[in-house]
Amino acid sequence: MNTTSRWVSAVWLALAAACWGLGTVMTKHALDGVSPFTLTVVQLAASAIFLWTLVAVQRLRLPPRREMIQPAVTGLLEPGLTITFAVLGLKLTTASITTLIFASQPILIILLAWRVLRERLTRPLIALSALAVIGVVLVAGVNPGDGNSGTLTGNALIVASLFACSLYLVLARRMVMTLDPLLLVALQQIVGLAWVLLVWPIELTQIGLAGLTAIPPGAWLWAAASGIVYYALGFWFYVSGLKGTPASLAALFLSLTSIFGVGGAYVFLGERLFPIQWIGAVLILLAVFGVSRPQPAEVEAAHRQSPISNYQLPLSSHRRPS
């Protein structure tokens, strides 16, 4: 990959992290008036409408039905199972433990990319991933020794959510090489929406239809807007970045989400930032900057593939005169 392509991919991935971070803040605000699964249904419905509108505007051609099945089915992983496990798990564990578990996502993605996609594991990549994990924990302000570890079932559900999300991001890298990023995400989110609609009645039996009618119009609009930012734009941008970046390298950009999330909470929700969080942000930025730079092996490979280094004289010039 040349330097320009690497930086273009980095911009896409950073924009995705910004959408996820700010989308998380918007979702947190929306949860004040909308229950979790109901909120997710509205978010995914708004996201699907937005994405398929763009597909129609760009006049993207759908591939044969058989070629759409596998990409669409991955929508069961994300957003389908990822959301389901997370919502159920959060009822049985704490937000701090959830943050700690998801902080390990870059390392899990690297391992999955190595196992599934046969991507290389390098010491610098592992070191930068560890740096990013430490940064996420510091930015989130999590205290591992706060004495509240949640239940085993709750923690297991959060781990399952993490695995489903990470596996999705790895598989998306393979699929985006043959399918347009916008179309890929649109297919996946339709399936994800269908799954959430199947589990939504579980929540409806608890809140009843009266709970839906009590939701003010502003909350519905806020939920829809957060869905477009988080699900439509966030995943579209990330998958676009995956097209030019190995999944193992793109994983480190996920740590930027915590910076945008905490920053958005500071600006829009008035939450206070502590010095330790700024230190964590610096560690994350260092990790992302390190992974964005061309590695020595890539520079050497680019030199070998350059027109000058590959130029050879015509065969006739090597012949001796008779």
Encode the chain (322 residues) as per-residue pLDDT tens digits.
566 788 899 999 999 999 999 999 999 888 888 999 999 999 999 999 999 999 999 999 998 988 889 899 999 999 999 999 999 998 888 777 888 888 889 999 999 999 999 999 899 999 999 999 999 888 877 665 555 556 789 889 999 999 999 999 999 999 999 999 999 999 999 999 999 999 999 899 888 888 888 899 999 999 999 999 999 999 999 999 999 999 999 999 999 998 998 888 888 878 777 888 889 999 999 999 888 776 555 444 434 443 433 434 343 334 444 4
Q: Would you call 179 helix, strand, or coil by DSSP?
A: coil
In terms of Cβ atoms closer than 10 Å to its own Cβ (0-12, 13-18, 19+), residue 30 is: buried
Number of domain units in the chain? 1
102-130 core/surface letters (b: 16 or more CB in 10 A; e: else) = bbbbbbbbbbbbbeeeebeeeeebeebbe
How high is the pLDDT of residue 296?
52
Is the residue at 252 inside a domain?
yes
Residue 133 lies in a domain: yes
Whether 201 maps to a domain, the answer reads yes
Q: Which residues contact 143 (CB under 8 A, 6 or more apart)?
A: 96
Q: Is residue 316 part of a domain?
A: no
Q: Using an 8 Å Cβ cutoff, are 209 and 263 in contact?
A: no
In this prediction, residue 15 carries a pLDDT of 97
pLDDT at 146: 56
Report the alpha-carbon distance of residue 8 to residue 241 in Å, rounded.
8
Domain that holds residue 37: 3-304
**pLDDT score, position 170:** 96
Tokens representing 238 are: 């990330």
Q: How much is the pLDDT for 164?
A: 97
Question: In sequence order, which residues have a C-beta less than 8 Å from that of residue 187 and are 6 or more positions away?
Answer: 68, 71, 72, 75
The reply to whether 273 falls in a domain is: yes
Does a structural domain hold residue 309?
Answer: no
- Which residues lie closer than 8 Å to 9 by C-beta, 6 or more apart? 1, 241, 242, 243, 244, 245, 250
CA distance 9 to 298: 16
- Interval 81-128: pLDDT, tens: 999 999 999 888 877 788 888 888 999 999 999 999 999 989 999 999
What was the pLDDT predicted at 316? 39
